[in-house]
């Protein structure tokens, strides 16, 4: 009855929402990269010919994954100071 719950502020909620969105997009790109890379290797093994379209998709996903991961890490480093102080 006398419990005090902290009401999350808007800045923290926006930061969490963006963090989760960046992480979800990064995970999707990583999964698409690996699926494309595996399909490319299987097709190369069967046909003995490199499929340039699948290879370019895999390389594009790799670059996109690196960009999203760096954006995610930068975002995590900018965690709101007020919330970080409350957690300690």
What tokens were used for 5? 């719950």
φ, ψ for residue 39 (rounded to 5)? -60, -40
pTM score of the predicted model = 0.77
Distance CA 51, CA 35 (A): 14
Higher pLDDT pick, 33 / 81? 33
**Is pLDDT larger for residue 79 or for residue 24?**
24
Residue 76 has pLDDT above 80, yes or no: yes
**Number of neighbouring beta carbons within 10 Å of residue 75:** 15
């Amino acid at each position: 009855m006398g419990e005090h719950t902290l009401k999350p502020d808007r800045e923290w909620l926006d930061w969490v929402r963006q963090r989760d969105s960046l992480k979800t997009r990064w995970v999707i790109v990583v999964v698409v990269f690996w699926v494309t890379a595996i399909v490319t290797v299987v097709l190369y093994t069967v046909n003995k010919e490199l499929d340039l379209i699948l290879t370019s998709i895999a390389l594009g996903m790799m670059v996109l994954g690196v960009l999203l991961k760096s954006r995610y890490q930068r975002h995590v480093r900018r965690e709101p100071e007020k919330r970080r102080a409350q957690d300690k």
